Amino acid sequence: MKIKSPYRIDPHQKVRFNAIKSNDSGTYRDADEANVDLDRHRETLSELQELLTAEAKRALLVVLQGMDTAGKDGTIQHIFTGVNPQACNVA
């Protein structure tokens, strides 16, 4: 599966955090519009996690960088609601 996203970082690609807007809302105008896609993406995450777990050869690394009170915990809770926590490691 090829994932196309302006936020995807390819392996060995240099990351310049100052070039990424922290308040970017993409193409969404409001929360209701975003929630439709959020539900769909949660379902996809759940399906992909099942495949990754079954294969047991690959992993996914998600890095959230931010200062204290930047909202990392809320982001994790919001995005990964549909993910099985038994197959996750958090550090």
Query: pLDDT by residue (tens digit) across 35-82?
Result: 898 889 889 988 989 998 899 898 888 888 888 878 888 888 877 887
Backbone angles phi, psi at 78, to 5 degrees: -70, -45
pLDDT value of position 1: 62
Place of tokens 């982001």: 75
Q: Which helix (H) or strand (E) holds 59?
A: none
pLDDT the model gives residue 78: 79
